[in-house]
Chain A
Amino acid sequence: DADVTQTPRNRITKTGKRIMLECSQTKGHDRMYWYRQDPGLGLRLIYYSFDVKDINKGEISDGYSVSRQAQAKFSLSLESAIPNQTALYFCATSVTTGSQSTEQFFGPGTRLTVL
């Protein structure tokens, strides 16, 4: 079984709809992240969480919200989807070791299309 799973894998929705993307991990990592990838670009950070009580905005958080329901679960919500949120969304995890930034591991991605 995959260590980092994302649901759904593909989603088509309409402008104005509320959408939730879910991420679960079995790696036992405390840090979780949501990234977005647009065609021809690298990934950009939306939100990140270093533990269950810690939520931080990334580079492009406007229009998104997150919830860390448990150490193993991190959800991303689009309250009112718009077409320019059409993208490939990735969840990632890593483990805390002091001040060192450790290796991040990515889920398979969710392809979201907003019509």
Chain B
Amino acid sequence: GIQVEQSPPDLILQEGANSTLRCNFSDSVNNLQWFHQNPWGQLINLFYIPSGTKQNGRLSATTVATERYSLLYISSSQTTDSGVYFCAVAGNRGSTLGRLYFGRGTQLTVWP
């Protein structure tokens, strides 16, 4: 399989602060997704970003596939950003094709 490492494991911020979450992966991929898991357990798709940069409001993501990492940026954080952020990748060959491998997540807590 593909190993996915996320950092930091925990992050505590004051409302309004900016943050960067990192995802490293061990093999070449053709799918990378960022998810937000809210306190009710639901997984919300943030980005589908196998390569390049995307932005959606206060969130943006960059994937450098050749160097096997992705970054998720959260600007002007709000309390509703709290939850766990997961990175997941799928490989581009053999048994890894089409299967998502998840990291352990970053637990984000935003205080008012």
Which A residues form the contact surface with B (CB < 8 A)? 31, 33, 35, 40-45, 48, 50, 58-59, 88, 90, 92, 94, 99-106, 108-109, 111
**B48 partner residues in chain A, CB cutoff 8 A:** 102-103
How many whole Å from A89's CB to the nearest CB in chain B? 11
Confirm or deny: B25 has a beta carbon within 8 angstroms of a beta carbon on chain A.
no
Q: Report the bound CA distance from A28 to B97 in whole Å.
A: 21
Which B residues form the contact surface with A (CB < 8 A)? 1, 4, 29-31, 33, 35, 41-43, 45, 48, 50, 86, 88, 90-92, 97-105
Other-chain residue from A44, A58, A59, A104 in contact with B33 (beta carbon distance below 8 A):
A104
* 3 smallest beta-carbon distances between A and B, as pairs: A42-B102, A101-B31, A101-B90
**B102 partner residues in chain A, CB cutoff 8 A:** 42-44
Q: A45-B99, A59-B1 are in contact. Are A102 and B31 (CB under 8 A)?
A: yes
How many whole Å from A36's CB to the nearest CB in chain B? 11
Q: Report the bound CA distance from A49 to B105 in whole Å.
A: 26
Q: Report the bound CA distance from A76 to B101 in whole Å.
A: 20
Q: Report the bound CA distance from A45 to B98 in whole Å.
A: 11
**B42 partner residues in chain A, CB cutoff 8 A:** 106, 108-109
Other-chain residue from A41, A43, A108, A111 in contact with B100 (beta carbon distance below 8 A):
A43
**A106 partner residues in chain B, CB cutoff 8 A:** 35, 42-43, 45
